[in-house]
Amino acid sequence: MPHQHPPSTLPPINRGREGPSSERDRAMADLETKGVVLLDFWVSPFGQRCRIALAEKGVEYEYREENLGDKSPLLLKSNPVHKKIPVLIHDGKPVCESLIIVQYIDEVWPDCAPLLPAEPYARAQARFWADFVDKKIYECGTRLWKLKGEGQAAAKEELIGILKLLEGELGDKKYFGGDAFGFVDIALVPFVSWFYTYETCAGFSVEEVAPKLVAWGKRCMERESVAKTLSDPHKVYEFVGALKKRFGRCRIALAEKGVEYEYREENILGAKSPLLLKSNPVYKKIPVLIHDGKPVCESLIIVQYIDEAWPDRAPLLPADPYARAQARFWADFVDMKLLEGELGAKKYFGGDAFGFVDIALAPFVSWFYSYETSAGFSIEEAAPKVAAWAKRSMERESVANAVSHPDKIYEMVGVLKKKFGVE
């Protein structure tokens, strides 16, 4: 079986410190190495396709987890067109796009476990259905978990139609290609882990809609290559939930001001929308607040804008320029001991009113439990006033509705640590 080597440390947060040239040199050196390297991201269904294909073929390879928020020079160099994982690097030559990678693997290691049929027409059929999965399932499934209301209802109907079509194509066969596990199975099976998320978000049962497809999913899971690779459906659901919460600070500020707004979820892992790329061309990151067509980027700058654009309700920053400067300083700073000193006996960081610094810090309250458990200390003991402030803030509806449950964050941190081999 192939050897997967999870990285021994978390991906570096600050690449700048090391200097870009040494990173680039290493990326160049990596491209000259012999052997097989897979650039991937744990929950990616596209990456999982490649892992399953490599496992079926028994190919040894090095697994490298990418930080999609800070892509490695090697990823940028080896997939300059899409800048996406997965990328398979074989003897220094990069291959991009999961279905192309799976076909490449089949052709380079032809001696065992053929993934595509030998006959040209059957091969064309297999490519057709794999392409159908690519075009339909991911895009429609993503709309389903991201959207609410009518958009979600439409995505749900569409997904049900797609699942029924796949059910029809599978029929009474063991696998999509017949008796042997192959290309279409590999293309589709990573999405089985997402069924639970689709079902929970939209309220329907895949088993009722497509019972043969569910039985096929279970059959695939009996294979070691699949069982070892697929994500736990609950972890996928949590991951999706964590993505949804990234707007924390801005959502709290908008709720405090009672501002009505349209919430548009961005696909952090997939393609960024043209609107995001256009409205935040510098960082290409969420959150972006678009007010009357004008984009504002960077969460703390958005919160200050919200305060200034809707000044009549719930002021978030103090009026006095020096107090405002202090608030801006602390909002940028997250250190428990120092925060405790700054908070002192005050109710909130700015005094009696919930404000800018509180909003900046509130989303981190969900992480306190994880910090404590991972680092073996108690925030209550180290910074009792901050702990009391956290409880007080969590009692506010605006905060409670916007931040994740601490248990969920803790579970997610656990998954990430396991993935990165950190104990």
Binding site for ligand GSH (CB under 6 A): 41, 44, 46, 68, 83-86, 97-99, 269-271
Residue nearest to ligand GSH according to CB distances in the complex: 84
Residue 160 C-beta: closest distance to ligand GSH, Å: 23
Residue 359 C-beta: closest distance to ligand GSH, Å: 28
Residue 145 C-beta: closest distance to ligand GSH, Å: 14
Nearer to ligand GSH, 98 or 299 (CB): 98
Nearer to ligand GSH, 85 or 357 (CB): 85
Nearer to ligand GSH, 87 or 403 (CB): 87
φ/ψ bin of 178: left (φ > 0), alpha (ψ from -120 to 50), beta (otherwise): left
Q: Which helix (H) or strand (E) holds 78?
A: helix 73-78
191 phi/psi in degrees, rounded to 5: -75, -15
Of 224, 293, 254, which is closest to residue 1 (Cα–Cα)? 224
Of 42, 27, 29, which is closest to residue 73 (Cα–Cα)? 27
| Encoded amino acid at 59, one letter | V
Residue 208 C-beta: closest distance to ligand GSH, Å: 28
Nearer to ligand GSH, 273 or 326 (CB): 273
Nearer to ligand GSH, 2 or 47 (CB): 47
Residue 164 C-beta: closest distance to ligand GSH, Å: 24
Residue 260 C-beta: closest distance to ligand GSH, Å: 30
Euclidean distance between CA atoms 104 and 95, whole angstroms: 8
CB atoms within 10 A of CB 294: 9
Nearer to ligand GSH, 51 or 257 (CB): 51
Q: Is the dihedral of CA 284, 13, 377, 373 positive or negative?
A: positive
Helix (H), strand (E) counts: the chain: 22, 6
Opening angle at CA 216, ends 210 and 217, nearest 5: 90
114, 145 Cβ separation under 8 angstroms: no
Nearer to ligand GSH, 39 or 250 (CB): 39
DSSP, residue by residue, 112-123: SS-SS-SSHHHH
Residue 342 C-beta: closest distance to ligand GSH, Å: 37
CA distances from 299 to 156, 181, 296, 303, 330 (A): 32, 47, 9, 6, 14
Of 79, 121, 120, 118, which is closest to residue 100 (Cα–Cα)? 79
Euclidean distance between CA atoms 217 and 192, whole angstroms: 6
Nearer to ligand GSH, 43 or 357 (CB): 43
Q: Which helix (H) or strand (E) holds 170?
A: helix 149-170
Euclidean distance between CA atoms 206 and 188, whole angstroms: 14
Residue 138 C-beta: closest distance to ligand GSH, Å: 8
Token pair for residue 320?
Answer: 């006095």
Residue 220 C-beta: closest distance to ligand GSH, Å: 19
Nearer to ligand GSH, 44 or 304 (CB): 44
